[in-house]
Structure 1
């Protein structure tokens, strides 16, 4: 064998030996790496059984109850408790008072107060506008610093989130998040029998429940026991138990006692007329956009004007010719003595359509038409319509019903009359006695104490000669 052949054979042998060494090293290295990975995986995995709270809500090993987490996020505490007064049976001036009373109750019960919808001069869930369409919620919060307020939309959000959690966690065999717990209570005055004492008692299913509550279905379906556990009660209050500050002490204590409950939602259908608590809280401040409209009207009237509130509803139609002559005589006298040239009329007489500005004023006669026509022919009479009030809302069709009846313009009228230099209203027979008029007079009474207010009187009634 030649030298070159021996050399070639030796090189081949060395090559195969080297190749075998490389492959063997790689195999054992990978085997060792794989072994290490398996050991690491086994040491990191901890198999445990599911944890369960006393409420039977199944949770993960991070020890958090999802319903409690929702409540903490929304209410600031593990359990949410709401007071939802979904119906207040009177127009804005008195409804304003009653909402304040129930806000006081929310504070006593340590419950979140739902800001019920508004519209048509009322506070009630049947209406479609949010609470801040009428009221300044920031200033309301300052009046009740210890009460947490939430809008109806916020409430719906909580219901939806709670429902999603329930659906996710519950199963057919083991329902671990219970249905909503609700107490529906009707709180009313005794009307038919004033001798009956105040009492609180259980009520039959669906007692005095307003149909508008159905807007929250299926999230708060009070007819489905799998969805909501509902109790019904009634509280009838004797009128004399609310008429004085002293009597309201006892009745408010009873109210707080019987409604101190564990249910998540306290639904109330209320119609009480008088305050519920001894202390009467200040009027809920109105929204800035209404205040701005009132200021615009005041500026257009050159900041000097006579305000008239003439509510024609329940006037005696046959007296109206004499009523309007008495008003004309009074206006001439005030304008001459005080040097005021401008007149602003707040009225329930139709201004935007053939319907009156009040939902309860339906029988408009020729006597009514003639009286207003005579007034307009004698003076230049300004109204919120003629002065372009709420112009932006009037451009939007969704506000048509609100503006053609009793609604936001009633608040505007109230503010303009409060700021008038001189204020007059009709006597018995010419005008309906109204809490609206009294609210204006009360506000003027507080303001006239300020020497720089520019107010010349609180309220005068014009006279008629029978």
Structure 2
């Protein structure tokens, strides 16, 4: 029996945590997790890239979670004499609505042509209260409800006295916070399994780790910056940019050997670097965050153009992944997969993945102080940054001389 990820609302960094949560759910229900297919930071059944494009395929084994690849799962369904039974399970946040209104249909999860039978089991929907972010107890109670309800379904006989259970649970996830823990699923489940490990960020595929480390080595020593500008009031972009330039100038005075700034940001810097003010390129700009593209304005472009002018007028060379990928030689298997375009054309999420690895390896790392932590903040609170900082903490613990700081912040 399997648990299949049909749709997941969060993007790559947060989606890792939700996938781990579904892995715990699969353990509690004695099911095998199907590794999702991926595309542009999204997980689900509508995408065409294998999980192994982003991550080490055995990364779930690190947590003690049984899994099967998507290709192997669909091969299994095709071998069955009849389509395996399936049921949609929607996990939502906020007001509970009828399942058909509160979740995605199989058709919207690109499953109408797949060998699965949704006719026997009606969809189920669960809703976590909207205040779940403030209370671990509320989130745990939601988790208890989900696990106990699904376990009860698998023990309840039908009118003929037979206990029937769907072969495949297809999850539609629209949550923000974790709702299960290793101790909770071990306590709730009637099944025996080794206690799963606590959550940690997943291991990226070896080819991206090698690429990121190669770029970092070629730039060393360098300072790396992550600036998450999404939802930042546009009028604060210029003064925050000035604060970042001031921080970099202070770094230069202390470490004159540093000549390069590697900049990772959700704003599309390549647009203002390659086109003039008010150009058609700016009008059609696509941000490095899908949700930010809709909010870009001429004021954003003007502020970032001014910031780049100041930083490039200093003693630093400013670079990004899109520039550095052209300077390194890709392994043959990656070169064939990429083709004539860049890695961002293969899958835009790769830019963010390699960015993280480069930022983890930089001698000095800076990020915008989150606005949620201070009125003087210059960035949106970001799990991306948290993942980088956690990795740098581990690297410093291994070798205190390897990095020159864990994280510094720029602010108004």
Cα drift, residue 285 of structure 1 = 0.8
- Per the alignment, residue 189 of structure 1 pairs with 93
Given the alignment of the two structures, is residue 150 of structure 1 paired with residue 150 of structure 2, yes or no? no
- Per the alignment, residue 371 of structure 1 pairs with 307
- Per the alignment, residue 217 of structure 1 pairs with 113
**1:439–1:245 CA distance, 2 compared to 1 (3 A):** same
- Per the alignment, residue 288 of structure 2 pairs with 357
- Per the alignment, residue 240 of structure 2 pairs with 323
Distance 1:151 1:105 in 2: 17
1:62-101 matches, cutoff 5 A: 81-101=1-21
Contact 1:120 1:127 in 2 (8 A): no
Distance 1:327 1:293 in 2: 27
Distance 2:174 2:379 in 1: 25
Q: Any idea what SS the aligned residue of 2:109 has?
A: helix
Contact 1:209 1:269 in 2 (8 A): no
Cα drift, residue 397 of structure 1 = 4.8
The root-mean-square deviation of aligned C-alpha atoms, in Å, is 2.7
Cα drift, residue 234 of structure 1 = 0.6
1:8-47 matches, cutoff 5 A: none
Which of 144, 169, 176 matches 1:273?
A: 176
Q: Any idea what SS the aligned residue of 1:259 has?
A: helix
**1:218–1:367 CA distance, 2 compared to 1 (3 A):** same
Which deviates the most, 357-366 or 448-457?
448-457
Distance 2:219 2:344 in 1: 26
Distance 1:250 1:106 in 2: 18
- Per the alignment, residue 27 of structure 2 pairs with 107
Distance 2:401 2:17 in 1: 25
- Per the alignment, residue 400 of structure 2 pairs with 452
Distance 1:131 1:453 in 2: 35
Per-residue CA deviations over 1:54-76 (Å, capped at 9, x if unaligned) read: xxxxxxxxxxxxxxxxxxxxxxx
1:187-336 matches, cutoff 5 A: 187-190=91-94, 203-204=99-100, 207-209=103-105, 211-215=107-111, 217-220=113-116, 222=118, 228-241=119-132, 247-260=138-151, 261=154, 262-279=165-182, 280-302=198-220, 304-336=221-253
Cα drift, residue 454 of structure 1 = 1.9
Contact 1:140 1:285 in 2 (8 A): no
Contact 2:226 2:264 in 1 (8 A): yes
When Rg is computed on C-alpha atoms for both structures, the one with the higher figure is 1
Q: Any idea what SS the aligned residue of 1:180 has?
A: coil
Contact 2:224 2:261 in 1 (8 A): yes
Contact 2:85 2:120 in 1 (8 A): yes
**Structure number with higher relative contact order (C-alpha < 8 Å, ≥ 6 residues apart):** 2
Cα drift, residue 455 of structure 1 = 2.4
Which of 47, 64, 77 matches 1:159?
A: 77
Contact 1:243 1:274 in 2 (8 A): no
Contact 1:242 1:276 in 2 (8 A): no
Unaligned runs of 5+ in 2: 155-164, 183-197, 272-284, 372-376
Contact 1:245 1:277 in 2 (8 A): no
Given the alignment of the two structures, is residue 385 of structure 1 paired with residue 305 of structure 2, yes or no? no
TM-score computed with the length of structure 2 as normaliser: 0.77
Contact 1:202 1:232 in 2 (8 A): no
Q: Number of residue pairs matched?
A: 352
TM-score computed with the length of structure 1 as normaliser: 0.69
